[in-house]
Structure 1
Amino acid sequence: WVARPMPHFVEALNANALRGVRIGAVKEFFGRNPVELPVSKVVRSALTRMQQAGAEVVDISMPQLEAKALSASVIAFEFRDNLAVYLADHPAAPVKSLGEILQRGLYLAELRDDFMLLDTSPGTSSSQYAKAMANRAALQALLRQTLTAHKLDALVYPTVRREPSLIGDPQTDPNCEPSANSGFPAMSVQAGFTPDGLPVGLELLGAPLSDAKLLAFGYAWEQLASPRQPPLYTPPLEERAAPHPVAIKVAIVADPVKAEMDFNFDRVTGRLSYTVAITGLPADEMLAVSLHQPVDGGTDGPVIAALAPPGRLTHAGHIALPVSARASLHQGQLYVSLLTKQNPR
């Protein structure tokens, strides 16, 4: 692991870099809970494609990896003092310490608990820090031993076991810990998308100074799979500005009843605004106007939004379309239904 030349990244790029490599899939880092299975399925599918490109993928068991990685974290011991050193090198900074940031309220509310913990944790001269550094060495030894014993070029696992968290929700996932707490190089690449259209990454972790090799693996995967898809909710700019909303008109006619819906879809925010106007029908006969999304490639599907409540012949509103519904709208698959007492289904 020592006396090795520094990597040269550009020269290492090779579209055939996956051919003949041996990659170990860490079984314990693939989720087994129902909420984790969609991500695992996408990553497994990506590994199958890598095998088709000439890579050898083997399942390996590392039951101690998660615990060893979590016990090797040193950020809580180093952050406060390292930040103070950084601020001391910038005498014009308006604050001098993390404690001052907390005292003056110069932080986001969501970060308060983390900052309080970092400000009160033992420092780098503590016995706890020494233990964490010993755990770090044990983690490094485990990774070296596994890579060597199985003759692996890299370990692989989902970057995160679950779909991306909603904004504001915590992201508690141990898969980023092995690289962060060992110092071993790792690279996350796009593996694909869940059925809901959310991105999934896979992480490749290698031995020290294997950075260029990992980059070559990622480059080869990119050439093979072209896994990125421009998100529907981040459309290209039009003349350096966000695109205008898309106007859609829908009419349901069953003489003498006529229901007209005007939709405006904001491709940037995913907001769907609408108006509903129904004629030729007594108000007490109207049951519902609903927006549907087909499932599993069929033509029928469940209600994803109620556009008008019972008895309302005119109505207006807006909804935030989920990612999968935006894709269905883009493909022309969403549809509207009008239910009346005479036609309740």
Structure 2
Amino acid sequence: MKLRKNINQEEQKCSPVTKTICKLKQRDTQHQISNKVVLPILTVPRPLSTFIKSAVELKLSLSCPQERCLGGLRENPCTYNYKVCRVDQYADLFFFSLEQYDRDQFSKQQVCQLIKNMNDQYSEQALECVENRFKILDNFKDQTLLSENELLELEKIVSQYPFQCTIQNVNQLNSVLSQRILNQKFLDVMGITKDMMFDHLKETQALPTIFNLDGTLKNWCELAKYSVEGREYFDFYLNTYEGAQYKCKVEQKQIFKQSSLDPNQIIFIEFRIIHIDPSSMKSLYRQERILKNHAEYFNLKNSDLVLNQFKTQTNYLDAKNYKITRPCGHKKIDKIIPS
């Protein structure tokens, strides 16, 4: 919570959307270049018809573009209508500050009409979810607000598990995402390294999600319903980078806090904590698994890093351990113990 406040204060002082500025100045018939080097922001064109933007954050997608997926991981709904304008890392925590894309906004009636036109068996349930989502604008002042000390205690508990967190600003006009937070344990379960995540973000401006969101109304309705109801625990299918899928128990914690910037606004914080079955935990947290995925993503299969890992796993012996016993060059090779 304290780190998030520091980030917000810094963003108020200076805009996070910056670029390198080169200005030519003429002095004594010579051109001099004045450079101001700051954090570059990559803008990637996106099809406007794929994602639905409204006054309330729905996180609803009509399709799931494969080019925006990281291996077997779908795109995180937080980057459907937002670009990541800043990334902060503190120890094992990653903070992604979000900024809305400038695009047309659908009214609630238009969103409902789009869903009706899909002729999906889950259309009726999706329409109900949309209605319930919009109710947050009417009753946001009725929410029970959590104190800072209570939030700090909760943060200590969730840090022991893989978790992700979204932060949303809510007032009577709209609800807007401001940040997404996750920890290193969450990346480990997905089977990716932070370098993979950052490289994918640079190329696509999209973040990966562990949840199986495939662009269908069925999965969206499930997660939207659990969120609207404030369900404390639910089972859901999760994806990994390798394309594997497994059922897992998700603990959901929803918190409402008074905004320190606007008395007519509250902050809605939603934690999703992953509780892994002990039988799955051992394989998911294997460093060899994550290393293999990293090597595959960056095409490092023949690198020294992967080679050394292979040698360790197979008890491979280098040539210096071969014993030459005959002048003709025959070698007696030490026995290789299978792993």
The answer to whether the superposition gives a TM-score over 0.5 is no
State the TM-score, normalizing by the size of structure 1. 0.22
Bigger Rg over Cα: 1
TM-score by length of 2: 0.22
